[in-house]
């Protein structure tokens, strides 16, 4: 199949390339090849290419900056998704798009099923919810894949931030009252391939590593598995104010697909693969 991957230089894009490069004709575009927020460019370039599948891993992902850069976040995460959905419909391509736990308010202690209604509490979440709505309005052949707390080899993420802080500090404070499911981008990419091969029906899918934790639990596990001796102090959200409010309980409940491995196992693999932990 001819597969166009957008945002291939990003954290998830990088893993998608590795996952799909065998057995498919891949076309890899990032900001240098296309600006997905320009309608004419998107329609012209993608329809000329005419892929079977368009996988959109391009996004505006700066959650705190989005509070001040609302227009840009809406353009890239909202309107651009509408342009991609439109061209995919024109050329009859399957459209695969990624979304986030941040489309929910995080008030629900039990987590969120695929059909739960949106109530984003920050600009990034609002812009991603707009992108999803565009797809519902336009597309008939699509997968919207919501994921959370991504970590991977090719991008800024919590694991890398913790490992950097471990070199600079003797003790750190980490929020212990926000809960979610850390997800290894490589595991997610592998599930995306399975989903494509399964030819499941169009709709929303929740794909994360299994089980949940707080950011504090996640940090403690990172240091434990990397054999780093660092004091981690649990703190409350109010003690670590950020421009964008975060959902408290953002567990994505998956009712459609087999569960992925636990986040601790995925983290262990990541640390081994990046040379931070011996086998």
Ligand X SMILES: NC(=O)c1ccc[n+]([C@@H]2O[C@H](COP(=O)([O-])OP(=O)(O)OC[C@H]3O[C@@H](n4cnc5c(N)ncnc54)[C@H](OP(=O)(O)O)[C@@H]3O)[C@@H](O)[C@H]2O)c1
Q: Give whichever of 59 and 222 is closer to ligand X, judged by the CB atom.
A: 59
Q: Give whichever of 61 and 226 is closer to ligand X, judged by the CB atom.
A: 61
Q: Give whichever of 13 and 120 is closer to ligand X, judged by the CB atom.
A: 13
At CA 27, angle to CA 26 and CA 31, rounded to 5?
Answer: 140
Q: Give whichever of 3 and 150 is closer to ligand X, judged by the CB atom.
A: 150
143 is catalytic: no
Question: Rounded to the nearest whole angstrom, what is the least distance from the CB of residue 229 to ligand X in the complex?
Answer: 27
Determine contact, residues 271/226, Cβ cutoff 8 Å.
Answer: yes
Distance CA 228, CA 194 (A): 36
Question: Rounded to the nearest whole angstrom, what is the least distance from the CB of residue 92 to ligand X in the complex?
Answer: 23
Contacts of 116 (CB under 8 A, 6+ apart): 104, 108
Determine contact, residues 67/51, Cβ cutoff 8 Å.
Answer: no
Contacts of 184 (CB under 8 A, 6+ apart): 150, 151, 152, 209, 263, 266, 267, 269, 270
Catalytic residue among 8, 124, 184, 216: 124
Question: Rounded to the nearest whole angstrom, what is the least distance from the CB of residue 171 to ligand X in the complex?
Answer: 25
Contacts of 35 (CB under 8 A, 6+ apart): 41
Question: Rounded to the nearest whole angstrom, what is the least distance from the CB of residue 231 to ligand X in the complex?
Answer: 26
Q: Give whichever of 232 and 247 is closer to ligand X, judged by the CB atom.
A: 247
Residues that bind ligand X (CB under 6 A): 7, 9-13, 30-31, 34-37, 57-61, 76, 98, 100, 128, 147-150, 155
Query: 115, exposed or middle or buried, with CB in 10 Å at 0-12, 13-18, 19+?
Result: exposed
Distance CA 132, CA 122 (A): 16
Question: Rounded to the nearest whole angstrom, what is the least distance from the CB of residue 149 to ligand X in the complex?
Answer: 6
Q: Which is it for strands 213-214 and 179-180: parallel, antiparallel or unpaired?
A: antiparallel
Residue nearest ligand X, Cβ-based = 10
Catalytic residue set: 124
């Amino acid at each position: 199949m001819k597969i166009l991957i957008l945002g291939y230089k990003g954290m998830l894009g990088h893993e998608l390339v590795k996952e799909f490069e065998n057995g498919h004709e891949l076309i890899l575009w990032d900001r240098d090849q296309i600006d997905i927020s320009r309608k004419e460019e998107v329609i012209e370039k993608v329809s000329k290419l005419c892929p079977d599948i368009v996988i959109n891993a391009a996004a505006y992902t700066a959650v705190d900056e989005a509070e001040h850069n609302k227009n840009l976040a809406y353009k890239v995460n909202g309107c651009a998704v509408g342009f991609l959905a439109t061209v995919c419909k024109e050329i009859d391509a399957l459209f695969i798009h990624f979304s986030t736990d941040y489309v929910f308010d995080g008030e629900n202690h039990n987590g969120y099923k695929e059909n739960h209604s949106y109530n984003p509490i920050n600009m990034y979440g609002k812009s991603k919810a707009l992108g999803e709505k565009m797809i519902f309005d336009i597309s008939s052949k699509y997968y919207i894949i919501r994921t959370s707390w991504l970590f991977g080899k090719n991008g800024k993420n919590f694991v890398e931030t913790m490992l950097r802080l471990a070199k600079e500090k003797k003790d750190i404070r980490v929020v212990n009252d926000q809960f979610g499911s850390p997800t290894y981008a490589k595991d997610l990419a592998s599930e995306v391939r399975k989903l494509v091969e399964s030819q499941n029906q169009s709709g929303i899918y929740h794909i994360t590593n299994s089980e949940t934790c707080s950011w504090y639990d996640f940090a403690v596990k990172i240091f434990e598995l990397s054999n780093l001796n660092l004091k981690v102090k649990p703190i409350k959200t109010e003690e670590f104010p950020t421009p964008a409010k975060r959902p408290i309980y953002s567990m994505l409940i998956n009712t459609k697909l087999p569960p992925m491995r636990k986040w601790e196992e995925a983290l262990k693999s990541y640390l081994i693969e990046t040379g931070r932990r011996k086998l």
